[in-house]
Structure 1
Amino acid sequence: MLESVGLDPVEERVYRFLVTTAEADVTDLVRKLDLDAETAETVLVSMRDRGLIREAPPDGRRFTAVAPDIVLGSRLLHHQQSLDWARREVEQLSEEYRGNARRRDAGRLVEVLPNRLAIREQLYHTQANAREEVLYFCKGRPMVMQATENDEEPAALLRGVAYRVVYERDLLEEPGMQANVAYGVKLGEQARAVPWLPVRLTVVDRKIGVLPLVQEAGISEPTAALVRSGQLLDALIALFEGYWDRATPLRVAEDGALTEGAQTCPLNSDDLYLLSLLVAGVADKSIATQLGISQRTVQRRLSHIMELAGAQTRMQLAWHAARERWL
């Protein structure tokens, strides 16, 4: 069990024995572990030289184990770092391999998922392996699985994967959907709504997308395209971003109900007027003149508004105000 931190089976037996008995010598190992004297002495010297055990005073013939969290913990950390480095290298090599393969064979860019089961398995797999972000278009009348069946999303959200989901309003009218969406929003999902979506779509880490090819399956099995990195996937991401920018945010009210609309604006009418002048491109001096206040007061009030918006620059403030529909 401890081979991953550099102990072979015999050394592990010796180390565990020393942990339980506090200290021992060659004779103890021969008697208790059924080792021959030469092997026992060789193992003890090797483990001492590697810092796994130390000599116990006064004569140095007996040995005691070094604390596991010190000697094995550091080895385990180093081993984990080595694995992480190797994993990144494998991922990079795999991506280079796939990229070269796609350049040689354009058919590798798109793979057809022939039925409902294959689509469901791919959706589960891509989410389970998501590391950064999942983008979703959710239309009404699901073809492959209900939103309540997507058990991978809560797990991904809990491990830090960002979810941005655009819902078609017809879907939100289906029984249980609003409660389900509210649950996702509470876990961290960013949700928005639009009257209509052109397609169903899932994009994971901007590297792979799933796009159903049949909107109304009827009696036949639905099919979908598995789209890998390339200009086609870039176009699908751009389509998502376009609808996302125009969609209305969905939020959870204090009573737990799902509500549609931007977050309540925290600004009073005077600050909103000041913000409107800023967004219109009016200089601070002219704003001060129009409001009958000093430029320093204008700057102080703008700093307060930026703090409320969580913005570091005036450009970020204008973008936040537009996104949250403060104006």
Structure 2
Amino acid sequence: MLDSLGLDPVEERVYRFLVTTAEAEVTDLVGKLGIDAETAETVLVSMRVRGLVRTVGPGRRRFAVVAPDIVLGSQLLRRQQALDWARREVDRLSEEYRDNARRRDAGRLVEVLPDRGVLRERLDHLQENARREVLSLCRSRAIALPAEENLAEPDALRRGVEYRVVYERTLLEEPGMQANVAYGVKLGEQARAAPCLPVRLTIVDREVAVIPLVQEAGVSEPTAALVRGGQLLEALIALFEGCWERATPLRIAEDGALAEGTRSCPLGSDDLYLVSLLVAGVPDKSIATQLGVSHRTVQRRVSNIMELAGAQTRMQLAWRVATEHWL
């Protein structure tokens, strides 16, 4: 059992014997364990060199074990650290291998799902194996897995997987859909609504995405693409995040029904006053004079406000303030 710590079977027998007897001589090992004196001497010297035992008593002919939690515990820690490092290195090499394989073979990057049955099966499988998060754009008229039949989501939510879902408003008008979404929100789903969505999309753990290749399948079988890694997946993630930012949060009202809420404003009253001056077209120097601060302070405050609002430019800040009705 202790071979993983570098002890062979004879050494383990000797070590266990010394643990029970506290200390012993070579002759004790010969008599109790049935090994010859030369083997016993060799084993004890080897174990003493490795710090497993120490000599005690007159003449230093008796041997006692060093506390197992000290000597073996430290070895376990070193081995665990080595295993953790090796595991990380294997993960890194595996990812590098997959990346190189995808670059050489496009079939590893994009897989075509040819019909409704395969698409539904793959969506279920991906959600059942999700570890961190699922991102989804849900358009009306589902082609493979209607929301009310998506039994994998509640299970994933219960085990801690984060769901962020944007629903098309026409989908929320379908019978029973609002109650279904409200149930998901109660379980922890983060839901938002948008007037319309460009595509149907599901992204799992930011590692794989499923997107239909035909928007309206009609009577024919729908075809979808499963995308693993690469720039295409990054573009799909960016598409989702853009739709998420523009969508309106959904919440549970006091009566338990689903309702649309307004996105909370991250700006304080002083920041909103400064923004109102910017939107009104007041120059920075005039704002500084009016607020009794330096021109540099105004610029710094504007930069902080832009960061809070998630805006890259002042024009984008004004657009965000207007669309979110913060003023």
Partner of 1:101: 101
- Alpha-carbon RMSD: 4.3
Overall identity of the aligned pairs, in %? 64
Return the alpha-carbon distance in structure 1 between the equivalents of residues 284 and 203 of structure 2: 43
- Does the residue aligned with 1:45 lie in a helix, a strand or coil? helix
Return the alpha-carbon distance in structure 2 between the equivalents of residues 4 and 282 of structure 1: 74
Q: Does 1:295 align with 2:293?
A: yes
Specify whether residues 238 and 111 from structure 1 end up closer, same or farther in structure 2 by C-alpha distance, changes over 3 A only. Answer: same
2:125 to 121, 125, 131: 121
Residue identity matched to 1:319: G
Q: Deviations over 1:7-39 (max 9, x none)?
A: 334434444444444334434444554544433
Return the alpha-carbon distance in structure 2 between the equivalents of residues 34 and 295 of structure 1: 91
- Does the residue aligned with 1:51 lie in a helix, a strand or coil? coil
2:304 to 297, 313, 316: 313
Checking the alignment, whether the CA contact within 8 Å between 1:123 and 1:210 is kept in structure 2 is no
Partner of 1:49: 49
Q: Does 1:149 align with 2:152?
A: yes
Specify whether residues 226 and 266 from structure 1 end up closer, same or farther in structure 2 by C-alpha distance, changes over 3 A only. Answer: closer
Residue identity matched to 2:177: E
Residue identity matched to 2:293: Q
Residue identity matched to 1:313: N
- Does the residue aligned with 1:203 lie in a helix, a strand or coil? strand
Specify whether residues 249 and 174 from structure 1 end up closer, same or farther in structure 2 by C-alpha distance, changes over 3 A only. Answer: closer
Residue identity matched to 2:66: V
- Does the residue aligned with 1:313 lie in a helix, a strand or coil? helix
Partner of 1:261: 261
- Does the residue aligned with 1:287 lie in a helix, a strand or coil? helix
Specify whether residues 25 and 194 from structure 1 end up closer, same or farther in structure 2 by C-alpha distance, changes over 3 A only. Answer: farther
1:181 to 180, 185, 190: 185
Correspondence 1:1-327 to 2 at 5 A: 1-113=1-113, 115=118, 116-125=120-129, 127-128=130-131, 134-138=134-138, 143-144=144-145, 146-150=149-153, 151-155=155-159, 157=161, 164-168=164-168, 170=171, 173-184=177-188, 191-212=191-212, 224-250=224-250, 260-262=260-262, 264-265=264-265, 271-277=271-277, 285-290=285-290, 293-295=291-293, 313-319=304-310, 322=320, 325=324, 326-327=326-327
Residue identity matched to 2:187: Y
Checking the alignment, whether the CA contact within 8 Å between 2:267 and 2:308 is kept in structure 1 is no
In structure 1, runs of 5+ residues without a counterpart are 307-311
Residue identity matched to 2:47: M
Specify whether residues 56 and 279 from structure 1 end up closer, same or farther in structure 2 by C-alpha distance, changes over 3 A only. Answer: farther
Checking the alignment, whether the CA contact within 8 Å between 2:182 and 2:252 is kept in structure 1 is no
In structure 2, runs of 5+ residues without a counterpart are 312-316
Partner of 1:309: none
Checking the alignment, whether the CA contact within 8 Å between 2:212 and 2:224 is kept in structure 1 is yes
Checking the alignment, whether the CA contact within 8 Å between 1:18 and 1:65 is kept in structure 2 is yes
* TM-score (norm. length: structure 2): 0.69
Moved more, 277-286 or 65-74: 277-286
Specify whether residues 119 and 164 from structure 1 end up closer, same or farther in structure 2 by C-alpha distance, changes over 3 A only. Answer: closer
Specify whether residues 176 and 234 from structure 1 end up closer, same or farther in structure 2 by C-alpha distance, changes over 3 A only. Answer: closer
Return the alpha-carbon distance in structure 2 between the equivalents of residues 299 and 67 of structure 1: 64
Specify whether residues 256 and 194 from structure 1 end up closer, same or farther in structure 2 by C-alpha distance, changes over 3 A only. Answer: same
Specify whether residues 214 and 18 from structure 1 end up closer, same or farther in structure 2 by C-alpha distance, changes over 3 A only. Answer: farther
Specify whether residues 13 and 252 from structure 1 end up closer, same or farther in structure 2 by C-alpha distance, changes over 3 A only. Answer: farther
- Does the residue aligned with 2:137 lie in a helix, a strand or coil? strand
Moved more, 18-27 or 216-225: 216-225
- Does the residue aligned with 1:55 lie in a helix, a strand or coil? strand
Specify whether residues 286 and 152 from structure 1 end up closer, same or farther in structure 2 by C-alpha distance, changes over 3 A only. Answer: same
Q: Deviations over 1:21-58 (max 9, x none)?
A: 43344344445545444333333222221122333345
Specify whether residues 111 and 96 from structure 1 end up closer, same or farther in structure 2 by C-alpha distance, changes over 3 A only. Answer: same
